[in-house]
Structure 1
Amino acid sequence: MEKTMEEKEQRWQSIQVRGLNFSYGGEGQPWFITNFNLDLPKGSRQILVGANGSGKTTLLKILAGKHMVGGKDVVQVLGRSAFHDTSLVCSGELAYLGGSWSKAVGCAGDIPLQGDFSAKDMIFGVEGVDPARRDKLIELLDIDLHWRMHKVSDGQRRRVQICMGILHPFKVLLLDEVTVDLDVVARLDLLDFLREECEQRGASIVYATHIFDGLESWATHIAYIKDGKLKRFESLSKLDEMKNARNMFEVVESWLRAESNDNDSEVTSPAIQSNITRPLDLSPFTSSRHMAYYR
């Protein structure tokens, strides 16, 4: 049977989102994410940016199958619905690493990472792992297998979480601010490894972050979300603003400052203001080497 144009297109996409609307409040509540459309090519490394509360985490959780959305075809990951097809997560093809100190192992649920057990217990407890890949990640992340998880620092615990999350050779990896606790060397080494995963295996990564140091040469695409809507999605090599900017931080800062100024200029009635719950704290600061954070 001859494949349709849409089926052929899906072969080259790792993620497809078509007309996504999502609300936390149920029927009759305003949409938090509105008319969202996105095509992410296989092998790409996408940076996801936006102000606090813009919808980045919600989008990643929807892609990870943690929230149900209407219709199996609205959100497709590797041609399947992550919410309806649990084999995506159980097989390790789709991996999600968020801010909580836990790791979903197979289909058994989340394992906490703060109990009185060793890093070795956690890492070697993941089944079906290539020993060579496991050893490489332990070395890459500089993990001491004797660490007791209830005694280590946040950065050390985060290294164990990341290691466990990518032990299986994922096809799509969703990262939500997970490098915030890593030091500069650990973060750069991890990004180099993830680049290899994409270039050598055709894996795809969506990385939500407020730290932009070194990402100009790492990312292939950038997506900017504002108030639950996709405002920009472009290949980084074709982004006009990058041609006149020193780094990605300057570009993202200009978008968020323009957004902040737009919000400040709006005249909103007290009744409407009382219903606004999205945080808009956009105070940026920059440390050495342009490592940028937005509180």
Structure 2
Amino acid sequence: MEGAASGRQPGSAGAPALSVAGVSHSYGRRKALDDVSFDVPQGRFAVLLGLNGAGKSTLFSLITRLFAVTRGSISIFGFDVSRDPGEALRRLGVVFQARTLDLDLSVAQNLAYHAALHGVGAREAKARARDVLARVDMLDRIEDKARALSGGQMRRVEIARALLHRPRLLLLDEPTVGLDVKARADILAHVRGLVTREGLGVLWATHLIDEIEPGDQVVVLHRGKLLDCGTAEAVRLRAGAPDLTAAFRRLTGEGEPT
């Protein structure tokens, strides 16, 4: 993973799925992000690794325009989220850490509401809903109320919903928090499968090192600062550590993420 790219035309084949360039953000006097720069290439699984308070959720809020970018720039497939938010966000799907399904609506109704927000007609929305639910193995629950689903099933529906408007970049903020071991593994396998089969770019925010594979792109964020980025194996080697857990400890001076 290289530094933020420049000089590419928006939407071009060479543009990264996500480019973060010199981004800083503060809450009053507290600096949550300090000159953060990295790219997520198209069709790659990238991990934003950091402890609670590292700045992961702040960065996601900037990428999704919940917060305005005041220092630096963020672009999605070359489209700047501040100057061209419509084109940028049209290519983006998001799964936030907090559960966001309406528990009193069915799975189908939750997806239909999301489709309407993105200007997808009712007939097309039904077809797309069946397609995305099949992709996450949840088509058989399409008429069930959301409250009848397990935590892992809700997450899969949220991923399906994020895919409904056919984005090319998927952001997931701590998507396995509160799930059991099997549900965590299932969600991770589903998202990795989307990268492999469909060429989606993914930025997966987590504090759990066991969710990372040696070939994954890793961005190590700590107290708002970018400490290293590259494949997990490259990060390990640069830290002179026997494994990624030890590398994280050496980079941050903290204990292992839990």
| TM band (smaller chain) | 0.7 to 0.9
Distance of aligned partners of 1:194 and 1:15 in 2 relative to their CA distance in 1, 3 Å threshold: same
Aligned to 1:65, the other structure's residue is in SS state coil
2:96 aligns with 98
Q: 2: CA distance between counterparts of 1:213 and 1:136?
A: 27
Q: Percent identity?
A: 23
Q: How far is the alpha carbon of 1:147 from its aligned partner?
A: 3.1
Does the Cα contact within 8 Å between 2:93 and 2:170 map onto a contact in 1?
Answer: yes
Give the AA of the match of 2:8: E
Does the Cα contact within 8 Å between 2:218 and 2:232 map onto a contact in 1?
Answer: yes
Q: How does the TM-score come out when normalised to structure 2?
A: 0.76
Q: 2: CA distance between counterparts of 1:24 and 1:57?
A: 13
Distance of aligned partners of 1:196 and 1:189 in 2 relative to their CA distance in 1, 3 Å threshold: same
| Superposition map of 1:1-295 within 5 A | 6-7=7-8, 11-25=14-28, 29-70=29-70, 74-88=73-87, 91=90, 93-102=91-100, 112-114=101-103, 116-127=104-115, 128=120, 129=125, 130=128, 133-137=131-135, 140-141=137-138, 144-150=141-147, 152-213=149-210, 215-216=212-213, 220-241=216-237, 245=242, 250-252=243-245, 254-256=247-249, 259-260=252-253, 294=258
Does the Cα contact within 8 Å between 1:143 and 1:160 map onto a contact in 2?
Answer: no
Give the AA of the match of 1:204: G
Does the Cα contact within 8 Å between 1:141 and 1:190 map onto a contact in 2?
Answer: no
Q: How far is the alpha carbon of 1:191 from its aligned partner?
A: 3.2
Bigger fraction of residues in helix: 2
Q: How far is the alpha carbon of 1:205 from its aligned partner?
A: 0.6
Q: How far is the alpha carbon of 1:15 from its aligned partner?
A: 1.7
Q: How far is the alpha carbon of 1:183 from its aligned partner?
A: 4.2
Aligned to 1:6, the other structure's residue is in SS state coil
Distance of aligned partners of 1:142 and 1:33 in 2 relative to their CA distance in 1, 3 Å threshold: same
- Greater C-alpha radius of gyration: 1
Distance of aligned partners of 1:101 and 1:55 in 2 relative to their CA distance in 1, 3 Å threshold: same
1:278 aligns with none
Q: How does the TM-score come out when normalised to structure 1?
A: 0.68
Does the Cα contact within 8 Å between 1:155 and 1:181 map onto a contact in 2?
Answer: no
Give the AA of the match of 1:226: H
Does the Cα contact within 8 Å between 2:54 and 2:223 map onto a contact in 1?
Answer: yes
Q: How far is the alpha carbon of 1:231 from its aligned partner?
A: 0.2
Q: How far is the alpha carbon of 1:17 from its aligned partner?
A: 1.9
Give the AA of the match of 2:205: A
Does the Cα contact within 8 Å between 1:64 and 1:174 map onto a contact in 2?
Answer: no
Greater mean deviation of Cα atoms: 53-62 or 177-186: 177-186
Does the Cα contact within 8 Å between 1:96 and 1:173 map onto a contact in 2?
Answer: yes
Does the Cα contact within 8 Å between 1:65 and 1:84 map onto a contact in 2?
Answer: no
Does the Cα contact within 8 Å between 2:45 and 2:202 map onto a contact in 1?
Answer: yes
Give the AA of the match of 1:6: G
Q: How far is the alpha carbon of 1:197 from its aligned partner?
A: 2.9
> Aligned Cα RMSD in Å?
3.3
Aligned to 1:53, the other structure's residue is in SS state coil
Distance of aligned partners of 1:89 and 1:101 in 2 relative to their CA distance in 1, 3 Å threshold: farther
Q: How far is the alpha carbon of 1:224 from its aligned partner?
A: 0.5
Distance of aligned partners of 1:258 and 1:234 in 2 relative to their CA distance in 1, 3 Å threshold: closer
Distance of aligned partners of 1:244 and 1:226 in 2 relative to their CA distance in 1, 3 Å threshold: closer
Q: How far is the alpha carbon of 1:168 from its aligned partner?
A: 3.2
Does the Cα contact within 8 Å between 1:20 and 1:33 map onto a contact in 2?
Answer: yes
Aligned to 1:31, the other structure's residue is in SS state strand
Distance of aligned partners of 1:90 and 1:17 in 2 relative to their CA distance in 1, 3 Å threshold: closer
Aligned to 1:32, the other structure's residue is in SS state strand
Q: How far is the alpha carbon of 1:185 from its aligned partner?
A: 4.3
Aligned to 2:109, the other structure's residue is in SS state helix
Q: How far is the alpha carbon of 1:65 from its aligned partner?
A: 2.0
